[in-house]
Structure 1
Amino acid sequence: MTQPLTSVVSSAVSMLTVGVALGLLFLGWSNFWIVFVIGFGFVLPAAVQLAQWYDSQSSSQSPDSPSHSDNEQQRALETLRQRYASGEIDEAEFERRVTRLLETESVADAKTVFEDTDEEAAERTLESERNG
Structure 2
Amino acid sequence: MSGPAERLRDNAVEVASLLVTGLWMAALFTGQEWWWAALIVGYVVVIPIVEIAAGDDEGEESDREWGWPWDESDEDERRSDAAAGDEDDALATLRERYARGELTDEQFERKLERLLEVETIEDASEHVERAREQRRNREAEGNRAREYE
TM-score by length of 2: 0.45
> Higher relative contact order by CA 8 Å / sep ≥ 6: 1 or 2?
1
TM-score by length of 1: 0.49
